[in-house]
Amino acid sequence: MLFNSYEFIFAFLPLSFFIYFFLLEKRLVTGAKGFLVFASLFFYSWWNVAYLPLILSSMLFNYVVGNSLNENFKKVQVHKKGLLTFGITSNLALLGYFKYTDFFLENFNLAFDGSVPLLHLALPLAISFFTFQQIAYLVDSYRGETAEYDFLNYALFVTFFPQLIAGPIVHHAEMMPQFASKWNMVKNYKNIAAGLFIFSIGLFKKVVIADTFSKWATAGFDHAEVLNLIEAWATSLSYTFQLYFDFSGYTDMAIGAALLFNIKLPINFNSPYKALDIQDFWRRWHITLSRFLRDYIYIPLGGNRKGSFRTYTNLLATFILGGIWHGAGWTFVFWGFLHGMALVIHRFWKALGFNMPKVLAWFITFNFINIAWVFFRAKEWEDALKVLNGMFSLDSVVLPQKLSAFFKSSDVVSFGLWAEDISGSNWTAVWLFLGFFFVSVLKNTYELIRYPGIDSKLFRPLYAGFFSILFFVTLVLMTMSTHTEFIYFNF
Amino acid sequence: MRAKQTVFIFFGVSVSLILSFFSMLYAYDPLQLFHKHWHGDKRVLSRDMRAQAAGILNTYDYDSIILGTSMLANTSAKEASAVFGAKFLNVSFPGSDFYERSFVLKYALKNKKVKKVLYSLDDIGLVEGRERDASDFSYLYDTNRFNDFKIYITKKQLTCLFLFSSSPQCQGEVRDIDRPTAWYYKQEHKQRFGGMKNWFKAKNSPQIKKAFANILDVTKKIKNREVAKKFPLEEKKLELKNYLDKNIISIAQQYKDTEFILMLPPYSRLNYAMNAQYDKQKFELYLSSLLYLVVKSSEVKNIKIFAWGNEKFVDQIKNYKDPSHYEYTFNSWMLKQIKLKQGLLNNDNVNSYINLFKDKSLHYDIFKISKSIETYLDQE
């Protein structure tokens, strides 16, 4: 079930909310948790019930391993480590089987001129997210940072529907105390109001902004054969904005929906396109994934504790793995490599004590991110090169006819239909301008709400009216939208 | 307290907006999905019959329907009602395949007890087995009436709604409910009947241009002894049988009290001859689908198959405005023929019908027509 669907907004979410709190009012705490797990599994199975046994067995396995790690806390270190290694390897094997088998076979066939048939396995929804979340749980259990003896609680931690499909990736220790708190077992109107506002903003970001940009990004990357300078930049920027508004819109909806149940999920985005360097970007973009990569890959590899060279290689390795996590393809690996290299260069630059004017720093950071997204989005290398060629070639500049009064036509510059090959119009320029404005000038959702606290100034009729109009307009526009699925559902 | 008030205001405003919006859409209802027009001319209908048919079936009375393409668009519902003693509505839509029509058909049958269905077996379904994507209108024909509003939530319709406009762009034009998609009275079509000379006069018509190009191309290929591109014939025959089962026969089996009168629209002999003499596989598909339906009609008693492909008027080009479309008088003629059971095919007469049909199509002189076109074009 999609957050941006009528069945979720008008049926699933309100029903889940009322039944959950009804059961809590009747002091049926276990029943309420059980119901929430059931509702979440129903939400998950809505796409394809065939995936249900997979997530259930994954949960059961990790619960048993996690519990064993806790019980064996005082036993010999080797045994615990072996169990942890077994747990992590099994999780990675499951993820690897579904996500990377064909990628491996394709490359094997290519390298050894083989003809091993591909398996064409369908990627089970959310597998990357629930696998990482459970690996984190195992490591936390191993470290003695968390413990769970109740399978229902554990199932709730993994399946809680707002964060199940595409994060935020949460720690057991930050979720379960919230479900256990007595304060959270009664309806909290502050949280409900803030949740509704955040959900409305997220829905607007997805339906109105991201889906608008997706038309041009899809046309440019997937359909156009050649792109001129303006079309290529419009394509790459459209995707840069689409991805941000799609994923941050999803996260807003997840955080908003969770707040209705008095659960505060960690924030995942903090105006990432305002970043002034690449390290700053990764502190603002997909924050819970960055946190996972830092805590469970970069630091265990040695982090920055083993000298500069090891720090650089650790950074590079972490980001290459981050790239692979996003998808089984060399373009994702290269995207991870680019970001890893950028972080290495940034560290080196900092170590030398250099500084840069803020505007220039923003310009370089934003453009690097925009260019790197080209590899992230392209289905094939050829698509990436097509967009990059257009972006950096002055062979063809097609300007709108209206500008012919201001520019002379030449071998390079001609006048015609604006961004024709990406189905663009004058509105494309307006939207790109708005995109820049939204990401670089406006406050983000959490600054506005002051989340994870909640700004009581929001509780005014004017705001309520504004957000309800925003919600209504988005609902109407949702009917016209043809691009519905969230990008991160593919990862 | 302020937070609680905020939540109530949020829901209050949202619910009010949603209710007002849907009330406005309900009141405006240009396709008459929910009620007949409350304002403007009551006879206004949209030209988009794929959607408009839902409105017609929802708000007009009927116990029988005419469902075809442009071949049945000129059939008068009033006349059919008089001939068969029923209350017909004509919901034919141009260029429709059997898959698209299946949504309308099932809906009409579910909505009311239907006595008769007059249905044209056009090449688009009978030979091509086309399944055009119907997702842009099929929801109008499901059991959920609420999702019908979706058809009005487009930029164009919302603009119309806020202006409460009854302009033709918004609501459509005045059309006779007797035959809403009829074209017989339109000058650009009317003037092309009467023979080849009138086709020449209308040389700029896209249908005529296409017909000329096609005729010249086919005759050239026949002269050069070229054969049409081949495809796996038996596979396609099987595919078509499944297509006919799914979109017509299974529905007829489900509604045993409804008489399904399936008629092969009598295209011009020129049309059949081009297939028989050049695109032989296509011609064979036409005949095999026809044979299959006739055999099926002996099992499914409420199906009747009518065809008039061996009639003399089929050989005379003056009765056609292009290789397919006949004059509207034949729509009346066909109704009477059906009433008299003339042209009814069954297991006993289908083979002799097919043999004669083949013979006539194979021996029709296409070259005479192509020559006259060439002469005309040379003079031009």
DSSP string, A329-364: SHHHHHHHHHHHHHHHHHHHHHHTT----HHHHHHH
Contact (CB<8Å) B7/A196:
yes
Catalytic residue, candidates A326, A339, A346, A483: A326
Quote the pLDDT of residue A75. Answer: 55
For A169, the token pair is: 């990736």
With CA atoms as reference, the chain A residue closest to B8 would be A464
Instruction: Tokens 């032989």: give the residue.
Output: B280
Q: Which of B12, B17, B158 shows the shortest C-beta gap to A469?
A: B17
Cβ neighbours for B139, distance < 8 A, ≥ 6 positions apart: B147, B148, B150, B151
* C-alpha span between B240 and B334 (Å, rounded): 26
Is A469–B13 a contact, with Cβ atoms under 8 angstroms apart? yes
C-alpha separations of B312 from A258, A263, B198, B317, B356 in Å: 75, 80, 20, 11, 12
* Contact between B308 and B343 (Cβ < 8 Å): yes
* Phi, psi dihedral angles at A91 (to 5 degrees): -60, -45
Q: Taking Cα atoms as reference points, which of B94, B119, B102 lies closest to residue B261?
A: B119
Distance of CA A454 to the CA centre of its chain: 24
According to DSSP, the residues that pair with B345 across neighbouring strands are B305
Instruction: Please give the angle made by the CA atoms of B40, B46 and B48, to the nearest 5 degrees.
Output: 170
Q: Mean pLDDT across the stretch B258-278?
A: 95
Instruction: Give me B122's structure tokens.
Output: 């056009």
Percent of chain B topping pLDDT 90: 78
Count Cβ atoms within 10 A of the Cβ of residue B375 and give its class: 0-12 exposed, 13-18 middle, 19 or more buried.
exposed
| CA dist B364 → B80, B271, B273, B316, B357 (Å) | 33, 10, 6, 11, 11
Q: Give which of B14, B136, B144, B159 to mutate to test A binding, by max A Cβ within 10 Å.
A: B14
Q: What whole-number distance in Å separates Cα of residue A212 and Cα of residue A241?
A: 10
Determine, for residues B7 and A189 on separate chains, whether the beta-carbon distance falls below 8 Å.
yes
**Closest of A143, A10, A121 to residue A66, by C-alpha:** A143
For B154, the closest chain A residue by CA position comes to A480
pLDDT score at A72:
52
In this prediction, residue A481 carries a pLDDT of 73
Q: Are A98 and A127 in contact (CB under 8 A)?
A: yes
**What three-state secondary structure class fits B323?**
coil
Q: Is A326 a catalytic residue?
A: yes
Nearest to B13 among A459, A464, A476 (CB): A464
Q: Which two tokens stand for residue A158?
A: 């993994």
B258 pLDDT above the threshold of 80: yes
Q: Which amino acid is at B347?
A: N
State whether A479 and B13 contact (CB < 8 Å).
no
B30 prior amide bond cis, ω within 30: no
Interface of A with B (CB under 8 A): 189-190, 192-193, 196-197, 456, 458-461, 463-465, 467-469, 471-472, 475-476, 479-480
* Amino acid residing at A91: N
Least CA distance to A471: which residue of chain B? B14
Q: Name the token pair of A411.
A: 């071998």
Cβ–Cβ contact B82 with A under 8 A? no
Residues of chain A contacting residue B139, judged by C-beta atoms under 8 Å apart: none
Collect the ranges in chain A with pLDDT lower than 70: 71-78, 482-484, 490-491
As a whole number of angstroms, the distance between CA B225 and CA A254 comes to 68
Closest CA to A267 of A280, A257, A254: A254
Q: Please tell me the predicted confidence (pLDDT) of residue A77.
A: 56
CA distances from B362 to A376, B313, B372 (A): 60, 17, 20
Report CB contact under 8 Å: B9, A464: yes
Which residue in the set A190, A467, A475 is minimally distant from B3, CB to CB?
A190
Pick the residue with more confidence: B359 or A417? Answer: B359
Residue B162: exposed, middle, or buried by beta-carbon count in 10 A (0-12, 13-18, 19+)? exposed
Are A343 and A279 in contact by the 8 Å Cβ rule? The answer is yes
CA distance B31 to chain A (A): 18
- Chain B closest CA to A462's CA: distance in Å? 9
Q: Which residues contact A355 (CB under 8 A, 6 or more apart)?
A: none
Question: What pLDDT score does A73 carry?
Answer: 54
State the nearest Cα–Cα gap between A196 and chain B, in angstroms.
8
Distances (CA, A) of A453 to A182, A272, A448, A484, B55: 18, 21, 11, 31, 52
Residues B109-121 as b or e (16 or more Cβ within 10 Å = b): beeeebbbbbbbb
Nearest-angstrom CA–CA distance, B146 and B154: 16
| Cis status, amide bond into A168, omega within 30 of 0 | yes
Alpha helices in A378-444 (DSSP H): 381-391, 426-440
Task: Decide if B2 touches A, using CB distance below 8 A.
Answer: yes
Taking the alpha carbons of A66, A68, A73, A77 in that order, is the dihedral positive or negative?
negative
For residue B247, the distance in angstroms to the closest alpha carbon of chain A comes to: 28
CA-based nearest distance A182→chain B, Å: 20
Q: Running DSSP on this structure, what letter comes out for residue B325?
A: P
What angle, rounded to 10 degrees, do the helices at B366-379 and B269-277 form? 110
Contacts with A472 from chain B: Cβ below 8 Å: 13-14, 17-18, 21
Measured distance CA(A129)–CA(A117) in Å, rounded = 28
Write the pLDDT tens digit of every residue in B40-52. 778 889 889 999 9
Element (H, E) at A142: helix A127-142
**Taking the CB of residue B97, how many other CB atoms lie within 10 A of it?**
21
B166-217 pLDDT per residue, tens? 788 888 888 999 999 999 999 889 999 999 899 998 888 888 888 999 999 9
Task: Name the residue among B4, B10, B21 with its Cβ closest to that of A467.
Answer: B10
Query: Which residue of A7, A18, A189 to mutate against B (max B Cβ within 10 Å)?
Result: A189
Check CB contact under 8 Å for B3 and A459. Answer: yes
Answer whether B242 touches A (CB < 8 Å): no
**Residue located via tokens 């050069």:** B224
For residue A444, how far is the Cα from the chain centroid? 16
Q: How far apart are the first and last CA of chain A?
A: 17
φ and ψ at A10, to 5 degrees?
Answer: -100, -15
Alpha helices (H) along chain B: 2-28, 49-59, 77-84, 98-111, 123-126, 155-163, 168-171, 187-190, 196-201, 206-223, 233-244, 250-254, 269-277, 280-299, 329-339, 350-362, 366-379
How far is the alpha carbon of A199 from chain B, nearest alpha carbon, in Å? 12
Nearest to A256 by CA among A193, A173, A175, A345: A193
Picking from A467, A468, A480, the nearest residue to B153 by CB comes out as: A480
Chain B residues touching A461 at Cβ < 8 A: 5-6, 9
Nearest to B125, CA basis, from B100, B108, B106, B90: B100
Mutate to test the interface with B, among A187, A460, A462, A479 (most CBs of B within 10 A): A479
Please give the distance of CA B337 from its chain centroid, rounded to a whole number.
20
Whether B17 and A468 lie within 8 Å, measured CB to CB: yes
CB A261 within 8 A of CB A236: no
Six-digit token string for A364: 């370089």
Residue positions counted in chain A: 491
pLDDT digits (tens, 9 = 90+) for B112-133: 999 999 999 999 999 999 999 9
Three-class secondary structure of residue B174 per DSSP: strand
What is the spatial distance between Cα A280 and Cα A283, in angstroms, rounded to a whole number? 5
Q: Which helix (H) or strand (E) holds B306?
A: strand B303-307
Residue B250's CB is within 10 A of a number of other CB atoms, namely 13
pLDDT at B306 over 70: yes
The residue type of A440 is: S
Partners of B11 on chain A (C-beta within 8 Å) are 468
The residues facing B320 across adjacent strands are B326
Segment 8-27 of chain B within 8 Å of chain A by CB: 9-14, 17-18, 21
Angle, helix A426-440 to helix A229-260, in steps of 10 degrees: 50
B153 C-beta neighbours (distance < 10 Å), count: 17
What ipTM did this prediction achieve? 0.82
Q: Considering only the beta carbons, identify the residue of B3, B18, B149 that sits closest to A189.
A: B3
